[in-house]
């Protein structure tokens, strides 16, 4: 019998990740803060839980995909949260991007009650969530990682065990730091090209034939060319991750002057009211600053 899955957080990513379990024949229960968002999954056969606690009671494995550390705090530690019913024989998988410190605290508390805990933040955006091809950066015990592999592979096509709890979150935050550099740097280049009269297609052709190519560049360049800033990953959430990275780096006494400066550019996008647009909207800030 496949394990009973409880999925908490049905946003852009979570709704698509949860759907994979229905498609792959797992019994599924769902919970979302705004209950209406559960409707499409409930219509396809998922059970609806009234609270995270009820979700945990109905499930063998709860997977969380919520916005930020305070949302995870609510899910786990609230009176109607998961903690009061955490037990032996039950597992908790955290896929949200949060701080390594909070992840360790969640694991400490739930493991003390016999629950198996794995962190598994993801990358691959809403397209990867839709296709079930996410990459999962895991932290936890090897035996828990191995046991939960069929559950992880319902959502993704590759899972890497990065180390103990906390290491998955560190790797995820470093990944989003790299995305910040790549996207902002590329957008600066695009605006310079535009002002210089260089064809953006030619710029992209050279970038893609070079040693510094990445599928990330055509993905975002296509959207920018169409001025399509519909959310794949919001500016608000990337700034949340940049802040988490800077806090982690500060606690380790690692200066990150590059990321600190980049965050201000993304903050400017939020100040313009583009926080709920895709991170490609940072292009509009650079364009505006350049008087284009
Ligand atoms: N989008 C991406 O490409 C991407 C890629 C990798 C990782 N991630 C990470 O995955 C997580 C989810 O991202 P997303 O893009 O799916 O975000 P999203 O569309 O904004 O969804 C956020 C989810 O969190 C819930 N939530 C927010 N605050 C809450 C609170 N205080 N208590 C309970 N639930 C709360 C929301 O509930 P409501 O529906 O009630 O608002 C919603 O279900 C984030 O940690 C993000 O950094 C995102």
CA distance 102 to 106: 6
Range of the domain at 187: 170-289
Largest Cα span, the chain: 64
The tokens for 22 are 């229905």
Same structural domain, 13 and 148: yes
Same structural domain, 155 and 198: no
Same structural domain, 145 and 196: no
Ligand 1: residues with CB < 6 A are 9-14, 32-34, 37, 65-67, 70-71, 74, 96-97, 122-123, 125-126, 232-233, 237, 241
- Residue from 15, 66, 121, 176 to probe ligand 1 pocket by mutation (most atoms less than 8 Å from CB): 66
The sign of the CA dihedral 220, 226, 232, 233 is positive
The minimum-distance atom of ligand 1 relative to the CA of 14 is: 16
**Residue owning the nearest CA to atom 6 of ligand 1:** 123
Same structural domain, 283 and 252: yes
Q: Are strands 28-31 and 47-48 parallel, antiparallel or unpaired?
A: parallel
Domain count, the chain: 2
**Residue owning the nearest CA to atom 10 of ligand 1:** 96
Cα–ligand 1 centroid distance for 287 (angstroms): 29
Q: Which residues contact 252 (CB under 8 A, 6 or more apart)?
A: none
Q: What is the CATH number of the domain that holds 105?
A: 3.40.50.720
Q: What is the CATH number of the domain that holds 243?
A: 1.10.1040.10
The minimum-distance atom of ligand 1 relative to the CA of 97 is: 45
- Residue 59 in contact with residue 6, Cβ under 8 Å? yes
Q: Which residues contact 188 (CB under 8 A, 6 or more apart)?
A: 286
The minimum-distance atom of ligand 1 relative to the CA of 96 is: 45
Place of tokens 């608000």: 236
Question: In a structure prediction context, what are the per-residue pLDDT tens digits for the chain, which is 292 residues long?
Answer: 789 999 999 999 999 999 999 999 999 999 999 999 999 999 999 999 999 999 999 999 999 999 999 999 999 999 999 999 999 999 999 999 999 999 999 999 999 999 999 999 999 999 999 999 999 999 999 999 999 999 999 999 999 999 999 999 999 999 999 999 999 999 999 999 999 999 999 999 999 999 999 999 999 999 999 999 999 999 999 999 999 999 999 999 999 999 999 999 999 999 999 999 999 999 999 999 999 9
Write down which residue in 114, 130, 163 finishes a domain: 163
Q: Read off the pLDDT of residues 247-256 as tens digits, 9 standing for 90 and up.
A: 999 999 999 9
Same structural domain, 21 and 54: yes
pTM, two decimals, is 0.97
Same structural domain, 256 and 187: yes
Instruction: Please list, residue by residue across 53-79, b when 16 or more beta carbons sit within 10 angstroms of its beta carbon and e when fewer do.
Output: bbbbbbbbbbbbbbbbbebbbebbeee
């Amino acid at each position: 019998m496949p394990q009973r899955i409880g999925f908490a957080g049905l946003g852009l990513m979570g709704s698509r990740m949860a759907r994979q379990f229905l498609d792959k024949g797992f019994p599924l229960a769902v919970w979302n803060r705004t209950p209406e968002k559960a409707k499409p999954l409930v219509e396809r056969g998922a059970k609806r839980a009234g609270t995270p606690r009820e979700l945990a009671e109905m499930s063998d494995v709860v997977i969380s995909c919520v916005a930020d550390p305070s949302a995870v705090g609510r899910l786990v530690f609230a009176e109607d949260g998961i903690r009061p019913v955490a037990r032996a024989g039950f597992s908790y998988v955290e896929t949200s991007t949060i701080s390594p410190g909070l992840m360790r605290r969640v694991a400490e508390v739930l493991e003390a009650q016999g629950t198996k805990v794995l962190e598994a933040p993801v990358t691959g955006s809403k397209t990867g969530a839709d296709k079930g091809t996410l990459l999962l950066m895991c932290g936890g015990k090897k035996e828990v990682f191995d046991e939960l592999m069929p559950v992880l592979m319902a959502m993704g096509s590759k899972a890497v065990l990065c180390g103990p709890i906390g290491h998955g979150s560190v790797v995820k935050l470093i990944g989003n730091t790299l995305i910040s550099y790549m996207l902002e740097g590329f957008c600066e280049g695009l605006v310079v090209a535009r002002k210089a009269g260089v064809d953006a297609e030619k710029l992209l052709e050279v970038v893609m034939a070079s040693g510094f190519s990445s599928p990330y560049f055509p993905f975002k360049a296509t959207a920018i060319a169409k001025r399509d800033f519909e959310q794949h990953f919001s500016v608000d959430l990337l700034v949340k991750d940049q802040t988490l990275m800077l806090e982690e780096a500060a606690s380790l006494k690692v200066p990150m002057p590059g990321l600190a400066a980049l965050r201000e550019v993304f903050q400017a996008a939020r100040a313009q009211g583009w926080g709920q647009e895709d991170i490609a909207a940072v292009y509009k800030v650079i364009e505006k600053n350049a008087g284009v």
